[in-house]
Amino acid sequence: MKKTICCIGSRGFIGKQIYNKLINLETYEIFRYSSEKNEFIDKCDLKSFDYLIFSAGIHNESENDNKNIFYETKKIFRNTKKIFLNSGSIIYISSFKTCFNISEKIIKSTNNYNFYNYDNYYGKSKIIFEKLFIKFCKKFKKKYTIVCPSHVIGPEDMRFSANGKFFNNLLKKKIIFYPDCNISIVDVRNLAQIVKEIIFNEEFNNSKVIINDRSLSINDYIDKI
């Protein structure tokens, strides 16, 4: 009998790669759920799932608009709570670093990086949801693993991503001097493989795993995108 997986956020950059990694596996049946529309994308009559993968995030064009971030995050949690309750083991895709800011106040080695103050809307919503998620799992005694990737890159058109726009704007202005520092990155396809292995190996020990492939200088990163 096939084990069942519900994937929330499968249309996003990370979720799409995870879904593609799992969709053709003969021993699993995967269903996609839209947290935005609050409905299944695939026809699904199931009331419960063996696994839940949550990779959804909230994006906002105005990065300075933080008034609704708590409301929007809690709204998604309320909309998907029933699926969380009716799932066995859960993988939550969190966030470790989602944007760049080259202010000296942030990148100096003597300063601590304040995630909530300096990250983008997506990153903040991920951390808020993570806190809600941990509290939920403890209350209902759910087995889980939090996968926390560093800055995620992969096969997409970077011109349309937040960081792609940021660097393209710099390049248009012919700015060639960048801070002398490296950034940690992870390939989205490798991240999808790790999620697959967690499910295969039943590695749900209520822990948080930070994922990183390698470090690149900012100049090398720009060359790659």
Query: Is pLDDT of 145 > 60?
Result: yes
**9-18, 55-64, 163-172: which range is least confident on average?**
163-172
Return all residues near 219 (Cβ < 8 A) that are at least 6 apart. 178
pLDDT, tens only, 191-217? 999 999 999 999 999 999 998 888 877
Summarize pLDDT for 31-63 with one digit per residue, the tens: 999 988 889 999 999 989 999 999 998 876 555
Q: With pLDDT > 70 as the criterion, what percentage of the chain qualifies? A: 72
Q: Tell me how far apart the alpha carbons of residues 17 and 22 are, in angstroms, rounded to a whole number.
A: 9
Give the pLDDT of residue 3.
Answer: 94
More confident: 93 or 62: 93
Q: State how far the alpha carbon of 106 is from the alpha carbons of 62, 113, 118, 179, 180, in Å.
A: 21, 6, 8, 11, 13
Rounded to whole angstroms, the Cα distance separating 141 from 77 reads 17
Predicted local distance difference test score (pLDDT) of residue 147: 95
- Per-residue confidence (pLDDT) for residue 159, from 0 to 100: 47
Residue 176 corresponds to which tokens in the numbers above? 């060639």
pLDDT band at residue 6 under the 50/70/90 scheme: very high
